[in-house]
Amino acid sequence: MHVAVYITTRNAKEARKIGSILLHERLAACINIIPEIESMYWWNNSVEQHGESLLVAKTKKELVKKIIKVVKENGSYSMPCVNALQIVKGNPDYLKWIGQETRQNKKMR
């Protein structure tokens, strides 16, 4: 099964750092970075609002645990947002490509 992993980061520099690791370790076939998003959320009993960056990684479901580990080790958040969204349907050629570029026998942690 293929998934798109939704990851928020402190800024675009951090998103690029994490995205580069995910690609080089073959944990993702493709990374998209949206450098500026506005986030609002509850934290320590108050509503926070600030800018973040969004990283979306296209990968396979079985690699999500390793992606979470990379984000925790390389990001600055104490509780990072890393959520996998199932790709229900898509371009079969693109989904095949994701599978080819995210193989278990590639360099992994």
Higher pLDDT, 106 or 50: 50
Q: Which residues of 5-21 are buried (b: 16+ CB within 10 A; e: fewer)?
A: bebbbeebebbbebbeb
Residue 107 has pLDDT above 70, yes or no: no
Q: Are 74 and 21 in contact (CB under 8 A)?
A: yes
pLDDT(109) > 60: no
DSSP E strands in the chain: the ranges are: 2-9, 30-43, 46-60, 82-86
pLDDT in tens, 23-49: 999 999 999 999 999 999 999 999 999
| pLDDT tens column, 46-101 | 999 999 999 999 999 999 999 999 999 999 999 999 999 999 999 999 999 999 99
2-101 carries CATH number 3.30.565.10: no
CA nearest to 62, candidates 99, 20, 33: 99
